[in-house]
Structure 1
Amino acid sequence: MRKMLIITGLFLSILGYSQGSPDYEGGLKVKINEDGSKYFRIISWAQFWAQHNSDRPLDVNGNEQADLNFSLRRARLLLYAQVSKDFLILTHFGLNSLNADNMSPTGTGDASQLFFHDVWAQYSLGKNHAIGGGLHYWNGISRLNNQSTLNFMTLDNQRQSWATLGLSDQFARHLGVYLKGSFGKLQYRVSVNEAETNNLQASTTPVNGGSATYTGRRLLGSKEAGKTYSGYFEYGFLDSESNFLPYKVGSYVGSKKIFNVGAGFFMHPKGSVIADASGTLKGEDVNILAVDAFYDAPIGNNGGAITAYALYQNTDYGKDFRLGTTYETGSMLHAHIGYVLPVKTKTKFQPYLSYDDRKIDAINDNASQLGIGTNFYLSGHNSKITLEYQTLKYAQNDAVNTLTLQAMIYL
């Protein structure tokens, strides 16, 4: 009987519907009792990139780099299970951005290693609420900071929206506790977490009289700067979205009619540190606030659909904070829009535009980024090809232009 249930579960898993695909249901869902209330589910996906960039800098040995490069952008496996309606456990692991420069001869280097993205357990508090803990992705700030990597509309996420990645968390995941649920059409997620000690500035100390560094927990201690607080709240005016898992859908490819508005926050008291002229250290609070809106709906009866998103994010990492071209104290406007062409074929085409403009306090200047691309959905998000041209203009630097072709499959 057990074998028959497993075979039935595997068979049913290929007959479902997920973000525009008639062939899959987002993974292998295996029932382990008669009514399906006890089950486990496995989802696997891979994203391969071919990227052309004629503006790459010289390598560490002073040699010119090739314009065309290949990489494995993501390779992931996610498993979650419920053996009771009151309990859930989720495990998610994989690797990211494996390329010729960070591969190792026998696969033992850091970039070649699988690591846990999520490991958390959850307990239900009635029908619409739950509490959980572990290494989790129930983030605050915005929809993009809770984005699934399975169903982007654009090639990838808008990088500045993953605003704490590597600063207070491990790859956009915090270690802590969360509470999530809904009151009617209002969904919420809030969390209290540990701040990461060994972050992207693990060897950095603030310069006397200079800008802030994200070193609060390491330099001031966990009692003063050890915890972060975040939340995201959204109201859905049309169809309801699932909040069973934390990962937000980028485009439904016309399978739902969604209009949500949201607001979120992230706070890390004394998360950053400045040093005065005499070298005395002082903590500065990190505060990130955002508001956003998401619209996704079919148009007409011929398979056309629109996806649109807009975000305003105000980011305060401390006085004149700046780390590379990714993290800055300042503000950002981001928007993207895509349109599924109304063609009566299984393959769907979705051209799109994205644009963001950032104000950077440290240099009193702006950065802007434009993306033009299209998705070729061979079977919804389960099998798609994406082509995107992107140009980034950072302050007075020359624009960096990149053309990327992505092939993605998830089962």
Structure 2
Amino acid sequence: MKKLKYALAFLGLTAIILPQQLEAQDFFKDRKLYLNEDGSNYVKFTFMTQAWLRSIDYNPGSTINGVQKDKGTDIGIRRYRIQMYGQLTDRVFAYSQFGENNFNTISERKLGFFVHDAYGEYAIDKKALSLGVGLSGWSGLSRFSSPSVGSILGIDAPLFLQTTNDVNDQFLRKLSVFAKGKIGKLDYRLQMADPLEVNNSPAVQNRTTFSMDPAEMQWNGYFQYQFLYQESNMTPYMVGTYQGKKRVFNIGAGFIYQKDAMWMLTDTDDIEKSNMVHFAGDVFYDAPIGANGQAVSFYGNVTSYDFGKNYTRNGGPMNPTNGINNPAMLNGGGNSFPMYGTGTVIYAQAGYKFKDNLIGKTTLMPYVSLQHANYDRLNDAMNFFDAGVNWLLDGNVAKLTVAYQNWPVYTTDGNKTGSEGGVIAQLQVLFN
């Protein structure tokens, strides 16, 4: 009799729990937690890690904690990301992203994890116009001013397009109000940004630097005509390559403007302010070209930068050094070089994806890119070269990239004295 009671109790409990489990399964599909029956309202979580193993030559005079080093091998976390976003109602969308950049052996420990994005938006018209506010990457200028880093073609994004990265923004993200949408095949974004306090700019001198006075609003815009596939504008971050899954051809143009963003000393030691004005035009083509998964990807960009008279700024991703003992070196230590400056930049990248299942169930996608810049402060053209191959172990879910990079070395008088370079291997793991 007791066994019968236990059996009936078990069946009763199963009758209660099983439908709940089935209902829970119905509301978790496509890696989304559905908030309604048809899945149009949902919440989603993603994460990504990009880890580097690198062996490079350092700029002359580079030091680590005061010890001079000419070259080295290092391991670091180039990027770590956690995204949490969702279509909460038919018109309300929320997005947040957390992560870490450039964590290596000389980084401060346990302090690098920070908020990248935190914004909400409301769709006035579900296709033509959404308005949002918060900390976001809805920046203007060009396609890869806001790159989707999990899908970039090369080992890194074209970082020079993130024009004020960590100067008066937070790793390209800005406190802003933005509008975005699609009108026919025209995709647009407009942003009014409130620049962060400039706290890492050199003191005012006889060439322009970023002003440390309270900032005027910054205005951003980017417009692209999408001839073929109509890309998603759910988030601000744009796909680097679809690896042959879509046929995309876009032409775009954009701008960034900030009044009195820059200052310098005149010959009479007065402070003179100037506007920051940038314009860019670009083209993006990414498409399958064969019956077995082959594909090509191309991106071209021309940018006109006006940071004011003789402005340059160095960039060096996950710099393995933290000092330099050569005061005549413009580059700074490690892998840094004059990435940004007043002048004109021409950039191009191209890649080719081999057929699917080239190596077992995996394939290869080699690429090459070049940033060619004529900056007013430099007497010689600045050429940054990057070429490598992606081993697509499982698309962007797991890929191994090996690349060679080469950058020029300049003295403070603007003369090129040579170049440095090295090899980088990156493992990417992405849950999306």
1:35 positional shift: 1.4
1:122 aligns with 2:137: no
Q: Which residue of 2 aligns with 1:348?
A: 363
Q: Which residue of 2 aligns with 1:22?
A: none
- Kindly report which structure 2 residues correspond to 1:181-196, keeping only aligned pairs within 5 A, or say none: 181-196=181-196
* 94, 99, 102: which one aligns with 1:97: 102
User: Does the aligned pair in 2 maintain the 1:5–1:33 contact within 8 Å?
Assistant: no
Structure 1: runs of 5+ lacking an equivalent:
14-27
Q: Which residue of 2 aligns with 1:241?
A: 231
CA distance in 2: counterparts of 1:61 and 1:192, whole angstroms: 43
1:363 positional shift: 2.5
1:288 positional shift: 0.7
* Percent pairwise identity: 29
1:62 positional shift: 2.3
Q: Which residue of 2 aligns with 1:319?
A: 309
Q: Which residue of 2 aligns with 1:382?
A: 397
Task: Note the alpha carbon deviations across 1:137-186, whole angstroms, 9 max, x for none.
Answer: 11100011021111100110112111111223111011010000011100
1:213 aligns with 2:209: yes
1:61 positional shift: 1.8
User: Does the aligned pair in 2 maintain the 1:193–1:228 contact within 8 Å?
Assistant: yes
User: Does the aligned pair in 1 maintain the 2:91–2:126 contact within 8 Å?
Assistant: no
Task: Note the alpha carbon deviations across 1:218-266, whole angstroms, 9 max, x for none.
Answer: 33x3xxx421000000001111111111110000000000000000000
1:371 aligns with 2:386: yes
> CA separation of 1:4/1:283 partners in 2, compared to 1, >3 Å: closer, same or farther?
farther
User: Does the aligned pair in 1 maintain the 2:27–2:37 contact within 8 Å?
Assistant: no
> CA separation of 1:186/1:320 partners in 2, compared to 1, >3 Å: closer, same or farther?
same
Q: Secondary structure at the match of 1:362?
A: coil
Normalising by structure 2, report the TM-score. Answer: 0.85
1:365 positional shift: 2.5
With 73-82 and 32-41 compared, the bigger mean Cα shift is at 32-41
> CA separation of 1:154/1:9 partners in 2, compared to 1, >3 Å: closer, same or farther?
farther
CA distance in 2: counterparts of 1:100 and 1:150, whole angstroms: 24
Q: Which residue of 2 aligns with 1:83?
A: 88
CA-based RMSD? 1.6
User: Does the aligned pair in 2 maintain the 1:193–1:229 contact within 8 Å?
Assistant: yes
Q: Which residue of 2 aligns with 1:41?
A: 44
> CA separation of 1:229/1:390 partners in 2, compared to 1, >3 Å: closer, same or farther?
same
Q: Which residue of 2 aligns with 1:405?
A: 425
Q: Which residue of 2 aligns with 1:155?
A: 155
> CA separation of 1:3/1:162 partners in 2, compared to 1, >3 Å: closer, same or farther?
farther
**Which AA in structure 2 matches 1:127?**
K
CA distance in 2: counterparts of 1:252 and 1:331, whole angstroms: 29
CA distance in 2: counterparts of 1:335 and 1:192, whole angstroms: 29
1:383 positional shift: 1.0
CA distance in 2: counterparts of 1:407 and 1:65, whole angstroms: 26
User: Does the aligned pair in 2 maintain the 1:312–1:333 contact within 8 Å?
Assistant: yes
CA distance in 1: counterparts of 2:43 and 2:23, whole angstroms: 12
> CA separation of 1:61/1:132 partners in 2, compared to 1, >3 Å: closer, same or farther?
same
CA distance in 2: counterparts of 1:281 and 1:183, whole angstroms: 44
Task: Note the alpha carbon deviations across 1:287-326, whole angstroms, 9 max, x for none.
Answer: 0100000000001201100000100011001111122323
1:371 positional shift: 1.3
1:398 positional shift: 2.1
> CA separation of 1:347/1:277 partners in 2, compared to 1, >3 Å: closer, same or farther?
same
CA distance in 1: counterparts of 2:168 and 2:50, whole angstroms: 26
Q: Which residue of 1 aligns with 2:261?
A: 271
User: Does the aligned pair in 2 maintain the 1:358–1:367 contact within 8 Å?
Assistant: yes
User: Does the aligned pair in 2 maintain the 1:357–1:368 contact within 8 Å?
Assistant: yes
**Which AA in structure 1 matches 2:58?**
D
Q: Secondary structure at the match of 2:145?
A: helix
- Rg: which structure is higher? 2
